[in-house]
Structure 1
Amino acid sequence: MPWIAGQQLQGGKYVIKKVLGQGGFGITYKALHVELNQTVVIKTPNEYLSHDPEYEKYIERFIQEGRILARLSKDRHPHIVGVIDLFREGATHCLVMDFVEGENLFEAVKRRGALPEAEILLCIRQIGEALSVVHQAGLVHRDAHPGNIMVRRNGKAVLIDFGIAKELLPKTLSSKGIAGNEGFAPYEQMSRGSREPTVDIYCLAATLYYVVTGQPPTTSLARKLHNTPLIPPKQINPSISDRLNKAVFKGMALEAKDRPQSMQAWLAMLEKVKQTPPPSVEPAHKKYVFKATNLGKKYFDVPQLLRKRCKIIPWGWLIGVLLSYLLIGYLLAAFNAVYILSAVAGTVAVAVAVAVPGAGTWAVALVVTGTLAVAGAWVGALAVAWAMAVAGAWSVPAAGDELRKFFSKFHTFLILASTSSIGLGLGWLVYVIFL
């Protein structure tokens, strides 16, 4: 009977959480490594295999492959699941591996449909490199189908659930004639239990077929026994490249001898042909792309634009302008509120004079004086005109000079007029509130 949730192993070192999967060869559990507070996967042989006459050989192979994988884990490969422990719980042998967060390729295709070529090729290359390492260690995965390729959140692919001991099939299972996922396994694996690296090449090519089309390929048995053709993946998904289409067909060749004989040779088929680049000539369309890109940045990268503008505004001089006109606003309120409109007109005149070089500040003061005189108050007019002239001569021209370095005349005018008007309003408000 499979272990149940909460069951403890190795004196409480591991606690079973749930069954992740159960097949003819074994049972996979999700468990907790209590001391490390780490989620792990525990793989065990199926207990009913114990009645098979070759069970001992099967277990021997299980242990041997577990030790090889543990040795591979000493030099951690980023795309091969790590082995943590190998132990025996009663009569059951257990292999403890890392728990890989993410989703497998079956789940990814179900959720998203056919995956983009550029995205999936990165994963396939990672798994291909991992299988090359496995082959060099004398092992064959024999089950590199989409369900055993996990993709982490960072996009890295990890090969999991090794076909431990599938190279030595107990008679109980070999009679069934299936060792691997039927839809992704070559016929020689299912009929003869082949242990050659070309098995993994077929499996990975079939996986690539599935993820770029969203459809499982024709099974190798149907192709062998019924002469059912394999539909080219490009016929299903015209957007994939000819290079990928050719690599999939070659990797899924029905006869092992017709496939690339090493994983590296097959991966090479997926690489782009390197060509000598032509002389560097900037196409005309790139100029327009560049202009369009900069146009977008100019008008839509608002935070960056604001930060840049804020750095070049002469804040010190503008504060001086604000304080100067605050004083003027206070004086206007003290004499008579009728001067407010005239003062605003004078403020605008000053801003125009400074924004447009050539118009003197003192000349502007005379304009303001005339405006206030028309209002009928000579004393107040002269006092306010004098104050505005002094303020303009001190702060406004200096601020205008700085602003014109980075802003247009119109924007310089707007900034000065706004600052001066705010100062007038604050001066009047101070008088009303405090006096």
Structure 2
Amino acid sequence: MSGPITLSLPERLRQEFPILSETPYGKPLVYLDNAATTQKPNAVIDAVAHYYRHQNSNVHRGAHYLGDLATAALENARDSVARFIGADREEVIWTRGTTESINLVAHGLRSQLRPGDEVLISSLEHHANIVPWQQACAATGATLKVIPLQADASLDLTDLDQLINANTRVLAVTWASNALGVVTPLHTLIARARDVGALVVVDAAQAISHFQINVRELDCDFMAFSGHKMFGPTGIGVLYGRKEHLNALPPYQTGGEMIETVTFETATWNQLPYKFEAGTPHIAGAIGLGAAVEWLARQDRSAFLAHENDLRDYLTERARAFPGLRIIGDTADKVATLSFLLDGAHPNDVGTLLDQQGVAVRTGHHCTMPLMNLLGIPGTVRASLAPYNSRDDVDALFTALEKAARFL
């Protein structure tokens, strides 16, 4: 008599993600665009649907049953996120995503920047962690500086003591590059920033689904991430900030929930976290994000990372053996992402041919135009993996590339 069938990690996970059963163009879906957005498990889909079916109301001020249910669900989600990252609930601010979170901090810190001050970012940054600091520097007279790259697209810290110096007021850096998957030496950068008293802002959009994060242990001042890159809904994200820094920042938007008192002459602000949450929040999105972090908390995150690292290594091995393929950012310390070019082929053409075979990748500059300019390329093809992907998905990618190469 045979025993129970033991499913592999990706086989088990795929049962929880209904969209992975879709068949684009009649082909089995091979979803390799997780750096852009991850798919959603039933736990998240059900939580959002439950809110709209059974709890739908505005929050915090409704003197009725549904209002109480909705408020409790929203604040329970905040508690879940706080536990997930090791923060206090007052330090968890709902935003629309990483972009709004970074804009909130960069706008608020304008009041603390002066001519001669320096803001340091890296060459790997997404536009969302470049342009807000450009604007802050333009408004205050501060100077924006950039950590350079080494030949393998990892950060060059040769002159770190000069890059982070007595004039550095803010270090704003990604934990993992969305375009290349390169992981930055974040702990080294933060330690140096602490030596000079600089504030640390971490873009964790790409790291949050891969690494177990504790903001206290990391010792950052602010951290931003998006729900849709960690198996949650779109349009919702989080800004974590230390209480003392959030209390010191001016509001980013005004009106609604962030108000304590108002006269026609003046206004005072609500306590944290509501000080930065003007208007009706994305209630369903926050509830869905809470469900996503609770789902993640139930998983074996160490097994997730080990599986992803295995996929990364297998993906890299297959890529290095593929004729005419050039890996962009071929460094050891990466998340499970492959960014590449095929000789003589435009990335968009490659992506189109892969799509026709059911393989979903992303092409272009990935909102990192300065990085692409440094590398001297127009963009890349990017395949990015999640725990529900398997070696079969990697094989499907290269089978599709072999077919595509015949037409390029």
Q: Same fold (TM over 0.5)?
A: no
TM band (smaller chain)? under 0.3
Provide the TM-score with structure 1 as the length reference. Answer: 0.20
Of Structure 1 and Structure 2, which has the larger fraction of its residues in strand?
2
Provide the TM-score with structure 2 as the length reference. Answer: 0.21
Q: Select the structure of larger CA radius of gyration.
A: 1
Q: Which has the higher contact order (CA 8 A, sep 6+)?
A: 2
Of Structure 1 and Structure 2, which has the larger fraction of its residues in helix?
1
